[in-house]
Chain A
Amino acid sequence: MDSDFSLFERHVDALYRSALRLTRKPEDAEDLVQETYLRAYRYRNRFKPGTNEKAWLFTIMTNVFRNRLRQRPAPTEPLDQPGTDFSIYDQLRREGMPVHLMSPEEIIVERGFGDEVKHALEELPLPMRMVVVLVDVEDFSYKEVASILGIKIGTVMSRLHRGRQALQKKLWEYSGRPKARPVAVGAH
């Protein structure tokens, strides 16, 4: 039975990079992954062979993380926020950029939208951040994410939608204010 544990070992990079997005600190991420594996090892007989071991590990990790957060709330955690209807593409089009003549890669490189993706992601409120990480980075299906987080599929979809828009808004803000709309002095 123990030899089966190698099945779990191969997900250490995935768990670590997601832990890093959740905790935002390498030492906390490492600690979270260790505790995840300790539990996985302790409860390894509860894992049903043939089911998705990566989803199982992520379920453990998000539970451990949420319990920790409950015990020691992170003071800098951004609060959940309502959806902002935002898309970089629409914004650029409104500014008059010839987006229809450019490839997405050109648009992203030109305005430096790719430079601070991790930072932007880490600034999203946790409910949205978790869903974006699980879907976009770890490639879980909506159904798997619903099961990992114990939420409805509709909730996964709305958090994903809001999370992606909020992410684009952050990237837009980081990439410099649009020149067409001067920002008032003192505004942030």
Chain B
Amino acid sequence: MGDHCEQTMRKLSGYIDRELSDAEVRSVKAHLDDCPPCDKVFDFQAEMKRLVRRECCTDDAPARLRDWVRQLATEKAPARDQEA
């Protein structure tokens, strides 16, 4: 693994999470375009992030909770017993 590969792998999370500066994005992108093995690693890690999001976004709040929150602003929400 060359220096460029190592540098890119170190910045991969930041790249996937869109946390890099424009200059860093350009240098990572240039390397990925040139280096298929690193590009495959990037593809896989990016898909893992999407997978986590996709799987976890299936749990919506129960309707009664949603109603309770909506009523809170109108001060009609039932009081909770165990407020502390």
B56–A114 touching, CB < 8 Å: no
Provide a sorted-by-A list of 5 A–B residue pairs whose CB atoms are within 8 angstroms. A30-B65, A107-B44, A118-B56, A121-B52, A160-B13
Across the A-B interface, give the 7 residue pairs with the lowest CB-CB distance, nearest first: A104-B47, A5-B73, A16-B61, A117-B55, A17-B59, A136-B52, A89-B44
Which of B36, B49, B69 contacts A12, CB < 8 Å?
Answer: B69
Q: A6 CA to B71 CA in the complex, in Å?
A: 10
Interface of B is mostly: helix
A117–B52 touching, CB < 8 Å: yes
Interface of A is mostly: helix
B56–A100 touching, CB < 8 Å: no
A114–B19 touching, CB < 8 Å: no
Q: A147 CA to B13 CA in the complex, in Å?
A: 19
B56 to chain A, nearest CB (A): 5
Residue-by-residue, is B51-83 near A (CB-CB < 8 Å gives 1, otherwise 0)? 111011101111001101110111000001001
Q: Can you name the residue of chain A whose Cβ is closest to the Cβ of B61? A: A16
A9–B56 touching, CB < 8 Å: no
The answer to whether B3 has its CB under 8 Å from any CB of chain A is no
Which of A30, A41, A135, A157 contacts B72, CB < 8 Å?
Answer: A41
Query: B residues within 8 A CB of A37?
Result: 68-69, 72
Number of interface residues of B (CB under 8 A): 35
State which of A45-53, A75-83, A161-169 sits at the interface with chain B: A161-169
Q: A34 CA to B80 CA in the complex, in Å?
A: 9
Known contacts A100-B40, A108-B47; is-contact A17 B72 (Cβ 8 Å): no
A118–B65 touching, CB < 8 Å: no
Q: Which residues in window 44-87 of A have CB below 8 A to B?
A: 87
B3 to chain A, nearest CB (A): 19
Q: A21 CA to B58 CA in the complex, in Å?
A: 12
The answer to whether A20 has its CB under 8 Å from any CB of chain B is yes
A105–B47 touching, CB < 8 Å: yes
Known contacts A12-B66, A38-B83, A89-B41; is-contact A17 B57 (Cβ 8 Å): yes
Query: A residues within 8 A CB of B56?
Result: 17, 21, 117-118, 121, 133, 137
